[in-house]
Amino acid sequence: MTDYNSNDYPIRATGLAKRFGDVKAVSNVNLEVMPGSALGLLGPNGAGKSTTLSMLMGLCRPDAGDVLVFGNAAGSLKARQATGATPQATDFPDQLTPRELLRYTAACYGKTPKIDDLAEQFGLQTLIERRVAGFSGGELRRVALALAFASEPALVFLDEPTTGLDIDAQDGFREAARAYVAHGGALVLTSHNWDEIEAICDSISLIDQGETVLNTRIDDMRVRANIKHLSFDLPPGTVPPEWMQATHDGRRWHMDAEDADSSLRRMIADNLPFQNLSLEPLPLDVLIKHIRKEGFTQ
């Protein structure tokens, strides 16, 4: 992986704004990405997420604000030399093989790709010498992911990276992404798959109506919220007390507790005949909704 000045953030974006005619796509986006970290860029459809990603990658210029990639303007030659990317849509020359595509992509950066390693990481061993004409959508996606890492970039942008991948390929990608970050790489990931975000990312930036509404580490969110999801079985006909505000599907009951220890003690004191108790962290999407309700932004 290419080394860059440790004092330079892989990404530092401040006050980004972008309009398309009369449409305000982005009005105030601020975020940072540290070396050896993965940022999940989140937001509902139409929130400004795609426009923000385009500005971070240097594909469009902000009307206001700045984006620096390792201290260089986004879209500059130095910034592009440091980055790899996988867009949502991919289109390759039909007559080329994955091996040829990997060699060509790496050569554009003056690099020699580690083709065997990339083929193993992204499940291309049986495809590496085949022309991409006739590849399935999932196979093309695996090629696109491998190309993002072919030049050993210090920063990678991944836009909905596992769209069209089967479960095994998704697991392989997550393993490769975590290994990349563990070796000092920086990732920016967009995804509608909450499990994927939580498996790969250590921080999130949530954009809504063109503005950054939440910038935080996932672990910090969990510490601040201090909420656990409790689930348990009750005998037929048994209903938990109203203070629990529990819901159920069949015999399995569920509740979110801000103080799990206190809730459990109270359940015991109320002689509630629960069995098969499970205590788990809140799903990330539920946690974010709770954090936003509290007004926590960073």
pLDDT in tens, 187-215: 999 998 899 999 999 999 999 988 988 89
Q: With contact defined as beta carbons under 8 Å apart, do 90 and 144 qualify? A: yes
226 sits in the region (left: phi over 0; alpha: psi -120 to 50; else beta) called left
Cα separation, 261 vs 226, whole angstroms: 11
Q: Is the pLDDT of residue 283 over 80?
A: yes
Q: What is the pTM of this model?
A: 0.85
- CA neighbor of 122 nearest in space, from 99, 101, 96, 141: 141
Does the pLDDT value for residue 3 go beyond 60? no
Q: Residue 116: what are its φ and ψ, rounded to 5°?
A: -60, -40
List of E strands, 21-163: 23-33, 38-42, 64-69, 72-73, 83-86, 155-159
- Point out which residues pair with 68 in neighbouring strands: 12, 73
Mean pLDDT of 111-117: 92
DSSP assignment, residue 242? G
Q: Are 119 and 128 in contact (CB under 8 A)?
A: yes
CB 29 within 8 A of CB 52: yes
More confidently predicted of 1 and 143: 143
Number of helices (H), then strands (E), in the chain? 10, 14
Q: Which of the 8 DSSP states describes residue 203?
A: E
Domains and CATH numbers, the chain: 11-82+154-216 (3.40.50.300), 91-149 (no CATH), 228-281 (no CATH)
- The answer to whether residue 288 scores a pLDDT higher than 90 is no
Helix (H, G, I), strand (E, B) or coil at 187: strand
- Residue 297, pLDDT > 80, answer no
Q: What's the pLDDT band for 54 if we cut at 50, 70, 90?
A: very high
Can you say how many angstroms the Cα of residue 49 is from the centroid of all Cα atoms in its chain? 12
Round to the nearest angstrom and report the end-to-end CA distance of the chain.
30
Residue with tokens 């049986």: 126
- Calculate what percentage of the chain has a pLDDT beyond 70: 96
Task: Answer whether residue 278 shows pLDDT above 60.
Answer: yes
Phi, psi at residue 285, to the nearest 5°? -65, -35
